Amino acid sequence: MLFVDELQAVGANCKCANYFLWTAFGFGIIKLTTFVLRFLSLIFDIFLLPSTDYSKYGAGKGSYCVITGASDGIGKEFARQMAAKKFNLLLVSRTLSKLEALQEELQKEFGVTVKTLAFDVSLDQNSNYLSLQKICDELPVTVLINNVGQSHSIPVPFLETEEKELRDIITINNTATLLITQSVASSIVRQASKGHTKGLILTMGSFGGLIPTPLLATYSGSKSFLQNWSNALAGELKPANVDVEIVLSYLVTSAMSKIKRSSAMIPSPKNFVRSTLSSVGHRSGAQERFASLTPYWSHALYHFVIEETLGVYSKMVNSINYGFHNSIRQRAIRKAQRLAKSQ
C-alpha cells in the first residue's frame, strides 16, 4: 500500500512538472511571437510603409504650421520641408533677423506665406504666449512642431549644475513647450473640428529622456517629462481628431549636440527631418510606446535593441551612459584648458 501511495505521489509530481513545463513553453511561445511581431512592425515602419500623406493635415489647402526654434538647425529644416509640402508657416524663435532672412528665403523658393514672431522663451513672459495665441486665433493652424529646446553646455554632475542653466533647461524644454502648446492647440482643435483636416502636434523628445542619462540629469528629466506629457495629451486630443506624437532621437548634427560631421548613427538635420516627417503615424523603433516615434533608421534599430535586451532602465545601460558622457565631459574640460592656455 505504501508503494502504491509513493507511485501516486510521483505521478502527481510528474503531472505538476509537466503542467509547469507546458505553461512555461506556452508563455515562451507568446513572448517569441510578440517579439517577432514587434520586429516585423519595426522593419515595415522603417523601410516598407509609405510616407505620411500631409494632405490630411491641410497641406496645400492654406493651412498653417507653427514651428518653434525655427531659425537654426533642425527647426530651420522643419520649416524648409513643411514649406516644400505647401504649408504656410508661422516661425517662432529668438532672433528676429534670422527669422526675417528665413521668411524671405522660403516665400521666394516655395511660394508660401511665412509669418514670424520673435521672443526669447527662456524669459517665460506671459505677453509672448498671448501674442502667439492672438496670431494663431486668426489663422487656420493645423500643425504645431515643438522644436525649441536646450541642453547642458557640457555633461555636468547635477550638484555642480549652475542654477541659471538648470532653470533655463526646465523653462525652455518644459514650461515654454506647455504654454506654447496651449496657445496654439485651441486653433488646431478648432480647425480639426470642422472635419476638413486633422490636426498634428509633434514634440521633439530625445534618447536623453528615453534613457536616464547621468551627467545630463536635468536635461534627461526634462525630456522624460515631455514623453509622458505628450503621451497623455495624445489620449486627450485623439477624440478631437488631433494626432499628438513625441519624436525620439539619438544624436543629430546641430549646435545643441556640438557635432559637425554626420555618420550612420548621427544624421544631418535634413536627413533626420525627412525621416521624421515621412514616419509620422509609424512607431519605428518605439514599438513598445504609444504616440511615439523613433524615426531615423539607425536610431530606431538602436532603440529596439536596447529595449528588447537590457532595457532602458537597467543598471548596465545607466553605467554605460555615465561612462560615455563622462568621457565627453573630460574631453571638453581638456579642450577648455588648452584654449585658456593659448590666450
CA–CA separation, 49 and 96 (whole Å): 39
CA–CA separation, 100 and 117 (whole Å): 10
Closest C-alpha to 224, from 207, 203, 199, 200: 207
CA–CA separation, 110 and 246 (whole Å): 27
Helix spans in the chain (H)? 2-43, 73-84, 96-110, 126-137, 163-170, 177-193, 207-210, 217-237, 269-279, 297-308, 315-342
So which residues are the catalytic ones?
219
CA–CA separation, 270 and 257 (whole Å): 15
Domain chopping of the chain, boundaries: 54-333
Under-50 pLDDT residues of the chain: 2-4, 7
CA–CA separation, 271 and 263 (whole Å): 11
Instruction: Return the HEC string of 91-149.
Output: EEECCHHHHHHHHHHHHHHHCCCEEEEECCHHHCCHHHHHHHHHHHHCCCEEEEEECCC
Is 314 assigned to a binding site?
no
- Pick among 2.40.50.100, 3.30.260.10, 3.40.50.720, 3.40.50.300: CATH of 54-333: 3.40.50.720
What residues are paired with 92 via a beta bridge?
Answer: 68, 117
Closest C-alpha to 286, from 302, 270, 275: 302
Which residue carries 532653470 as its cell? Answer: 167
CA angle 47, 48, 54 (to 5 degrees): 95
pLDDT in tens, 25-55: 667 788 788 888 889 999 999 999 999 999 9
CA–CA separation, 181 and 142 (whole Å): 12
CB atoms within 10 A of CB 254: 19
**φ and ψ at residue 175, rounded to 5 degrees:** -60, -50
The model scores a pTM over 0.75: yes
CA–CA separation, 124 and 146 (whole Å): 16
Give Cβ neighbours of residue 107 (< 8 Å, ≥ 6 apart). 113, 114
pLDDT in tens, 164-193: 999 999 999 999 999 999 999 999 999 999
CB burial string 49-88: b at 16+ within 10 A, e below: eeebebebbbbeeebbbbbbbbbbbbbbbbbbbbbebbbb
